[in-house]
Amino acid sequence: MDQALYDHLGGRDAITAVVGGLYSRLLDDEEIAPAFAGIDMTRLRHHMTLFLSAALGSEAVYAGRDMATAHAGLQITDEMFDRTVAHLVAVLESVHVAPELIAQVLATIAPLRSEIVHGAAV
Ligand code: HEM
């Protein structure tokens, strides 16, 4: 992923704002919120900010767990994954990120589905 996408989105401050907006939507979504019960959200926001920054081409280093390990045991379904991605798109749209950049963000995240979704099979 090239640095251009991260810069286009507005760099670290923009990503921090997007992550804040994303988690407030996730916690307002009754299908999603239970997954976050008991989770330290300050730490999670920090990890997500670094993860997305690194995934979008910044030089930030993400040192958290890999996606399969981080989400193991949470019983995340395809529907929960889709809803989460839809919330992310809504946040990006709300800060007027261009559709072609949103498409690039989605292309970065889509391959993670198989690591994050565990259905009820744990
Ligand atoms: C859409 C793509 C997603 C990405 C890029 C993502 C990214 C991350 C990252 C970077 C972490 C931190 C890992 C760590 O602490 O080492 C994390 C943790 C977590 N994620 Fe996700 N996530 C995604 C989808 C989801 C979905 C769909 C859910 C549930 C509906 C979810 C629930 C959680 C929870 C509960 C944690 C905290 C786990 C813990 O601290 O034990 N994530 N995620």
pLDDT at 121 (0 to 100)? 46
- pLDDT at position 120 over 70: no
Question: What is the model's pLDDT at position 5?
Answer: 77
Contact 48, 109 (CB under 8 A): no
39 in any annotated domain: yes
Rounded-to-integer distance, Cα 48 and Cα 26, Å:
13
Q: Which two tokens stand for residue 88?
A: 């992310």
Which of 84, 105, 106, 112 best tests ligand 1's pocket when mutated (most atoms within 8 Å of CB)? Answer: 84
Cβ atoms of 108 and 55 within 8 Å: the answer is yes
φ, ψ at 58 (rounded to 5°): -80, 175
Atom 18 of ligand 1: nearest residue by CA position:
70
Q: What is the number of structural domains in the chain? A: 1
Tokens 């704002």, residue located = 17
- Residue pLDDT, tens place only, 108-118: 899 999 999 98
pLDDT of residue 122: 42
- For atom 34 of ligand 1, the residue with the nearest CA is 36
> What would the mean pLDDT of 98-113 be, rounded to a whole number?
91
- Quick one: pLDDT at residue 10? 86
Strands (E), 43-95: none
Q: What is the DSSP letter of 59?
A: S
The whole-number pLDDT of residue 119 equals 63
Q: Which domain holds residue 67?
A: 3-116
Under a CB-based contact definition with an 8 Å cutoff, are residues 44 and 65 in contact?
no
Output the ligand 1 site: residues, CB below 6 A: 32, 35-36, 39, 44, 47-48, 51, 64-65, 70-71, 74, 76, 80-81, 84-85, 109, 112, 116
Spacing of C-alpha 86 from chain mean position:
11
The CATH number of whichever domain residue 20 belongs to comes to 1.10.490.10
Does 122 reside within a domain? no
- Whether residue 2 is predicted with pLDDT greater than 60 in this model: the reply is no
Summarize pLDDT for 43-97 with one digit per residue, the tens: 999 999 998 888 888 888 899 999 999 999 999 999 999 999 999 999 999 988 8
Is 109 part of a structural domain of the chain? yes
